[in-house]
Structure 1
Amino acid sequence: MTGWHASDALVTGYADGSLPEPDAWSLEKHLESCSSCAARVSRAARETAAGAVLARVRETVLDAAPAPATAPASPGPAPAPARRAPRVRSRVSRWGGAGAPSTRMLWAAGPAVRGAWSAAVLLVAAGALALAHGGGFPDARPWLLALAPLVPVTGVALSYGPHADPLHEIVAATPSAGPRLVLTRTAAVLAVSLPLLTLAGAVLPSSGAPGAAAWLLPGLALTLASLALAGWTGVRAATAITGGGWLCAVLGPVPAAPGGRLTAHLTERLSACLDGAAAQGGWAAAAAGCAAVFVARRHARPLLEER
């Protein structure tokens, strides 16, 4: 029992199916520990058209069920009464099974931290370090900074969908599919890639390139832009668009550099895109704008029905 109780509007909206999804999940969590609100929701559900149909089905099933056999009288003490079933049964865990919240969170984030994507992150970081310190290529940082923003974007694309999760079809049919699951796995992708790639960039020779952490805001903005665009195109198509746009903007002009000065020209491009308060402020504003669009489009059909 809690000190807060559901209002009549919440109970009525939940019973007739018009309550928004976040409010419905919040109410269901409350019903697990509040018997009075559970009774009100049960009563409201019985008063709807669906409740009348379910009542007739229940009566039909009970009429068709065989009568229980009468047990012989026993001289022993009367058995303890059976425990009454709770009026509202807790829904199967939102993340695919029962368990503590931390266990469910790890289950949900699993596809984002296992498989080929995690190995690719390690390969990018280790490859840059090997080129700089063992391969005689001290100019590895600009190339790492150019590729680093694509890593979380690619990780988001590879962590959501049937190609990443063998239970995707089951999860996609639950209220936890869509924005909540995408955000959970995006957070896992960022938690792995941001510190690892930033640390790798910090131990590389600077070569005149921007600082090792200069790519963080662009990486975050591109990731949020992918999530925002996914409301129209789906997750994988959105990440392909944003990642391709970054490559065209940063690496596209590099092959045309005069005199084969590829790394020097790339460093100039990165400095223009990443260095300075104006550039970083622009990326921060872009990230905030994309986050707002994602929130507004979080229930869009292409995101929810990603296949």
Structure 2
Amino acid sequence: MTRGNARVWHACDDLVARYADGSLPEPDAWSLEKHLEGCTRCAVRVSRAVRGTAPAALLAEVREAVLAAAPPPARSLAPAPGPHRAARLLWAAGPAVRGAWLPAVLLVALGAMALAYGGGFHEARALLLAIAPVVPVAGVALSYGPHADPLYEVVAATPAGGLRLALTRTAVVLAVCLPLLTLTTLLLPASGAPAAAAWLLPGLALSLATLALASFTGCRAAAAVTAGGWLCAVLAPVPAAPGGEATRRLAEQLSRCLDGAGAQGAWAAAAVLSAALLAARRPAYDRLPRG
């Protein structure tokens, strides 16, 4: 080492050469690396020496091969043409949209219409309102987690993964099922059941609660808890109802859970609290929830 004064020193050629070939003892290497943080002159000399070693030459060849095989930046950032871009968006939307979940939602809607107008079941609206809030919950459970993505660990580690990916897929699930099921409910006979849009806030609140709970238990377990809780609440009076009274009891229970400013205000508060808990639990989604 050479010293210009008590505070400034520069690495000698022997020190640089021994660092480059890996023969320099670790304490001296650490000292040199610390010095290179503030000395451009020595950093340039050490960099030149390291580039002249065999491992550096091999790494340079690998780098050139990778860059040669990669697409040009302009090409990689340009939006894909029509159908290809749509296919990518559909894939990113999640398994719940591109898989069996969407046909299942359509089957629920068409089944309710068939019961009401083909089978003469005038209480189909009450039955659909009981099921509708758990449909987006099921979509959320199918859209995020190791079971949903073969490359889940890789995706979750990217900037677009974690909670951002879960929220994106939840938004897609809600955008599909909310209007479809609400329109279907609107077309069904009322028969004493709550309004067609009465389930929207409960559906949103249950979806957010599922995401918040998923940070503790995983998506599928959280969906089982929230969906099961809702179904137990609305179906509790049905088994004890006398013959022919089951659908009327169901409509009455739905009215308690959905009708009125009090019930809707409670669901709105539940949605806000779930969103706040979800925001507080955001780092948990970076630790790869289990399911």
Q: Same fold (TM over 0.5)?
A: yes
1:122 aligned to which of 106, 129, 132: 106
Q: Distance between the aligned counterparts of 1:244 and 1:283, measured in 2?
A: 17
Q: CA deviation at 1:62?
A: 4.5
* TM-fit CA distance, 1:144: 0.1
Contact 2:163 2:286 in 1 (8 A): no
Residue 178 (str. 1) matches residue 162 (str. 2): yes
For residue 280 of structure 2, what is the amino acid of its counterpart?
Answer: A
How far did residue 98 of structure 1 move?
Answer: 5.1
Q: Does 1:212 align with 2:212?
A: no
Residue among 184, 187, 211 paired with 1:227:
211
Alignment of 1:147 with 2:131, yes or no, is yes
Cα pair 1:233 1:303 within 8 Å, conserved: no
**CA distance change for structure 1 residues 59 and 125 in 2, over 3 Å: closer, same or farther?**
farther
Instruction: Answer yes or no: is the 8 Å Cα contact 2:146–2:153 preserved in 1.
Output: yes
Q: Counterpart of 1:293 in structure 2: which amino acid?
A: L
Q: Deviations over 1:104-158 (max 9, x none)?
A: 7554214231111111100100000011011111110000000000000000001
Q: Deviations over 1:27-86 (max 9, x none)?
A: xxxxxxxxxxxxxxxxxxx949xxxxxx989964542228x9xxxxxxxxxxxxxxxx9x
Q: 1:233 & 1:289 partners in 2: Cα distance?
A: 18
- CA deviations over 1:163-208 (Å, ceiling 9, x no partner): 3223323212323322000000000000000000000000000011
Write the distance in 1 (CA, Å) between the matches of 2:149 and 2:48.
37
TM-fit CA distance, 1:278: 0.8
Instruction: Pick the aligned partner of 1:198 from 170, 179, 182.
Output: 182
Distance 2:207 2:91 in 1: 22
For 1:1-307, what aligned pairs fall within 5 Å after superposition? 47=37, 60=50, 62-64=52-54, 65=57, 100=79, 106-300=90-284, 304-307=288-291
Q: Tell me which amino acid in the other structure corresponds to 1:169.
A: E
Matches of 1:216 and 1:58, distance apart in 2: 65
User: What is the aligned partner in structure 2 of residue 24 from structure 1?
Assistant: none
Comparing 130-139 and 294-303, the one that deviates more: 294-303
Task: Check conservation: 1:231, 1:302, Cα contact below 8 A.
Answer: no
Q: Look up the equivalent residue of 2:176 and give its one-letter code.
A: V
Whichever residue aligns with residue 148 of structure 2, its letter is A
For residue 252 of structure 1, report the CA deviation from its aligned partner. Answer: 2.5
Amino acid paired to 2:204: L
Secondary structure of 1:213's aligned partner: helix
Q: Give 1:145's aligned amino acid.
A: L
- Quick one: percent identity of the two aligned structures? 65
- Distance verdict in 2 for CA 1:99–1:124, change over 3 Å: farther
The equivalent of 1:40 in structure 2 is none
Any stretches of 5+ residues in structure 2 without a counterpart?
A: 1-35, 39-44, 61-66
Query: Is contact 1:210–1:271 with CA below 8 Å preserved after alignment?
Result: yes
User: SS of the residue aligned with 1:259?
Assistant: coil
- Give the TM-score taking structure 1 as reference length: 0.68
Sort the Cα spacing of 1:59 and 1:126 in 2 relative to 1 into closer, same or farther, 3 A: farther
Structure 1 segments unaligned to the other structure (5+ residues): 1-45, 49-54, 69-84, 92-96
| Whole-angstrom distance in 1 between the partners of 2:176 and 2:195 | 19
Seen in structure 2, the aligned counterparts of structure 1 residues 158 and 275 have a Cα distance that, compared at 3 Å, is same
Q: Secondary structure at the match of 2:283?
A: coil
TM superposition shift of 1:303: 6.6
Separation (CA, whole Å) in 1 of partners of 2:49 and 2:222: 51
Deviation, 1:219, is 0.4
Flag the structure with higher helix content: 2
The Cα of 1:160 is off from its aligned counterpart by 1.1
Report if aligned partners of 2:133, 2:200 keep a CA contact under 8 Å in 1: yes
Report how many residues are paired: 231
C-alpha distance in 2 between matches for 1:112 and 1:57: 51
